[in-house]
Amino acid sequence: MVGNVPVGGGAPITVQSMTTTKTADVEGTLQQIYALAAAGADIVRCTCNEIEAAEGLAQIVPRSPVPIVADIHHQYKMALAALDAGVHCLRLNPGNIRRAEHIKLVANEAKARGVPIRIGVNGGSLDPALYEKYGGRVTAEAMVESAQRELAYFEEVGFEDVKISVKASSVALMIQAYRMLADVTDYPLHLGVTEAGPTFAGLIKSSAGIGTLLAEGIGDTIRYSLTADPVEEARAGRTLLEALGLRERKNVDLIACPSCGRAEVDVIAIANQALEAFKDREIPLQIAVMGCVVNGPGEARDADLGIAAGNKRGHLFVKGQNVAVVPESEMVEALVDWAEFIMEHGVEAALARVDTTKAAREAQRDKARLLDAQGDDANDSGARIELIKKRVRE
């Protein structure tokens, strides 16, 4: 348990993030913790690098909406100070605090208070002795051995309230290290790609690493480490868990067609406008934005709600059934209205409140007009295939 949040033992996977404020800035840090919790963080870590930070933690912990983990850097005394501050968990980096007596002292104090510790091995700050042992390289074996050495110290003093991470900035390396670790230990694992980088690259690397492991059943709690506003980390963690079906959806699942020669509107713009409109609404529906009424409603028939463009109009459909037609300029607004109605009254009521036959007829009419104007090969695939055949014959 990290505070009141279970980690491991079959508990739901949790999302973590870390504040970027000075922990001594109590109000600023609390503000960020609240923003992180609202974006999906279940547990938040704060740095405890100096005595002022520990003093800050003493005021932050009782007012935080989520459990707080203190990140300890090089001084074991900061770990003791964080325990005095009442934190719910410690994170120790075995590469930074290396003296056995210090590690055991911290473990003993944590044990007395019932506070868990994360053994946070980091490829970038591996114990130099292990670095040497493995040929001057950071390897998965070296990271796993680092965690096991720390565990052995803990076990010597009978401390087992542990979770472990073996993060690396290389996705392939961290995957390998976590797989090895999962083979040799049953302790809960905290997953992450360290120093993943700015948003775009960081999201891809973290999702690849964390997602691969989660899909294999490895991992109990996750953190995206982005060079960005930490709210993005929390949001990304939550979205990944939702996408993998590991967390109940809280917000919209917006799907959209990639657009093609048939598209009747700027699908990218409309999809982004819709995403923005639903961002802060807690509407956990799957909503589709489709570029044309020719194929859109069929391709997105499983969505709870969707809209497809056709003949300067937006055709709304609920579970694949046409329900209404709106002007193109009101497509996003209409989606929001219908989504709110479905949330309040359900799909059946949404279908019952309109004449679906009339809406289907309208859609059929616009579809026919489009087919008339574009033909049934709007992407010119047929013409291209003819060209290819001709070239082969030559």
List contacts with ligand SF4 (CB under 6 A).
Answer: 257-260, 262-263, 290-292, 294-296, 299
Which residue, 16 or 259, has its beta carbon nearer to ligand SF4?
259
Collect all residues with Cβ–Cβ distance below 8 Å to 104 and sequence separation of at least 6.
153, 154, 156, 157
Q: Measured from the CB of residue 299, what is the shortest distance to ligand SF4 in angstroms?
A: 5
Residue 230 CB, shortest distance to ligand SF4, in Å, is: 35
Give the residue closest to ligand SF4 by C-beta. 291
Q: What are phi and psi of 343, to 5 degrees?
A: -60, -40
Cβ 388 to ligand SF4 shortest distance, Å: 21
Tell the smallest beta-carbon distance from residue 298 to ligand SF4 (Å): 9
- Residue with Cβ nearer ligand SF4 (247 or 367): 367
- Residue 319 CA to residue 348 CA, distance in Å, equals 10
State the minimum distance, in angstroms, from the CB of residue 211 to ligand SF4: 26
Residue 12 carries which DSSP code?
P
- Please count the other Cβ atoms lying within 10 Å of the Cβ belonging to residue 80: 18
Q: CB nearer to ligand SF4: give 43 or 263.
A: 263
Q: Which is nearer to ligand SF4, 100 or 260 (CB)?
A: 260
Q: How far is the CB of 331 from ligand SF4 (least distance, A)?
A: 14
**357 DSSP 8-state letter:** H
| Least Cβ distance, residue 339 to ligand SF4 (angstroms) | 20
Q: In the complex with ligand SF4, which residue's Cβ is closer, 177 or 303?
A: 303
Give the residue with the Cβ less far from ligand SF4, 245 or 258: 258
φ and ψ of 130, to 5 deg: -70, -35
Q: Which helix (H) or strand (E) holds 333?
A: helix 331-345
Residue that is written with structure tokens 């492991």 in the block: 213
Q: Is 38 helix (H, G, I), strand (E, B) or coil?
A: helix
Helices (H), 40-75: 51-60
Indicate the residue among 59 and 286 with the shorter CB distance to ligand SF4.
Answer: 286
Half-sphere exposure of 332 (CA within 13 A, CB side): 18
Give the tokens for residue 143. Answer: 């990271």
- Best CA proximity match to 167, nearest among 159, 155, 177: 177
CA 78 and chain centroid, separation? 30
Residue of 381, 385, 374 lying closest to 263 (CA atoms): 374
